Structure 1
């Protein structure tokens, strides 16, 4: 089972334990891959990172971060300094606020688009360095033609970054559609119980993952072991929660559509 402890011996725990430590015993030389220090890695992260990586159809484990914004900041750090970033005009407000600061500092040029206009989105890729996508967008719930836009980004040699928080990997898997990096606010549906603040980034590209890992380590954007334990537990019920959420939304939409005081749904 994805995200469970790999040991199959008798009396072995099914779940990953919570490891509260700042340092690890090590006899190894530098660069050997040992944990050494908990800012680099923590066994409490392993199950969650493996599970999310598999759900997103990545060939590598995900990387968990201290918040969704930490994961977003890490992904945006992949954009070349002074590069042009194409993104939906109605993106998540936290992403837009961070990008406004980055643009004011000369770190990026922001090129907003109407994400529902696919032709305009493809045209905006000319001369761009990166494409940021949300589908559905937060909070306007606009839907992008991800396969078309991601294929166009690849054709133009544009780095593609997708915030998959709203859809979750149970409804869409952007890496399988050609995205380079996927990010999540784990705080939302993945964790599902409003008791943790976490983020994650996923990629199948080893070079990009190394950069994302270095960003997490050097910026100290690391997650609490207990929070990751809770998020992994929450992920176990993602499928049933998502099914019920969609069922409730459908019911509400039908009730509103039938109400005489509602003009359109």
Structure 2
């Protein structure tokens, strides 16, 4: 995770999620200091000839405009565990493309029969162009999911699914994936980190369309991935850099601003859904 002295994480230990969304990703508290991060607009950074590890050089590889949001999301997705590394992408589809790049040519991808449509289209294209076998499962049928994992390379779960709202038994299917040696990804867009933390159940990667619940105001298009595996994070970061799937500084700032009201919006959405269900 991108953590700097300006955006500490340790001080937020023990806070409730509804408080975390307000507290994380802010500059360190100091008298007369800012309570919100700035929006640095830089494509290049000053170099004295030798770039050391962790030093900013070119904004496509790393960008200090991303760090507050990435730090905030990694903290939210950690649950009771240690934060991993969050990577913001130019869109949810860019994040999905990075995940699908982990499947080798001729490999096998297990995915829900009902899932985000554009992601399904991309999966079919990868299947046609790279000989990847697609195994579609009813994500709510735990036995069927477990059976489909044998010999697979990657398991993508949506829970709830988009748009059918099917719910997976995440602890069970993620444990089965780990036992089978299958890398697992959970699209947590609909549940949000306030509803569940898939990393706690053994997911290797958590995926978000930041465009939706996290940003919350229909004014940005962004995606994100979160993982606790440092090697995996480096692979995903390299994909983002080489494919240019990077986010604009102002869009990421807007997403962090939107995150501040996530708990209130999520609570209201659940209350409204419950009332609609009662009336219907």
Separation of aligned partners in 1, 2:170 and 2:87:
23
Query: How far did residue 31 of structure 1 move?
Result: 4.7
Is it true that 1:45 corresponds to 2:66 in the alignment? yes
Task: Return the alpha-carbon distance in structure 2 between the equivalents of residues 44 and 148 of structure 1.
Answer: 37
The match for 1:69 is 93
Q: Aligned partners of 2:191, 2:225: CA distance in 1, in Å?
A: 15
Structure 1 residue 9 displacement after superposition: 2.7
Contact 1:115 1:121 in 2 (8 A): yes
TM-score, length basis structure 1:
0.93
| Structure 2, unpaired ranges of 5+ | 1-22
Measure how far apart 1:106 and its partner are.
Answer: 2.0
State how far apart, in whole Å, the 2-side matches of 1:106 and 1:32 are.
34
Matches of 1:60 and 1:143 in 2, distance apart? Answer: 25
Measured in 2, the distance between the counterparts of 1:39 and 1:107 equals: 31
Q: Which residue of 2 aligns with 1:21?
A: 42
SS at match of 1:15: coil
Report the counterpart of residue 253 of structure 1 in structure 2.
277
State the partner residue of 1:234. Answer: 258
Rounded Cα–Cα distance in structure 2 between residues aligned with 1:227 and 1:107:
36
TM-fit CA distance, 1:33 = 2.1
Deviates more, 1:124-133 or 1:134-143: 124-133
Question: Does 2:26 correspond to 1:4?
Answer: yes
1:179 to 203, 215, 222: 203
Answer whether contact 1:26 1:34 (CA < 8 A) is retained. Answer: no
For these two proteins, the number of residue pairs brought into alignment is: 255
Further displaced range: 74-83 or 225-234? 74-83
Deviation at 1:115, TM superposition (A): 1.2
Question: For the residues of structure 1 that align with 2:99 and 2:49, how far apart are their CA atoms?
Answer: 31
Partner of 1:98: 122
1:157 and 2:178 matched: no
Q: Is the 8 A contact 1:40 1:217 kept in 2?
A: yes
**1:193-232 maps to which residues of 2 (within 5 A)?**
193-232=217-256
Deviations for 1:119-156, whole angstroms, at most 9, x for unmatched residues?
11101111111111000000000001100000000000
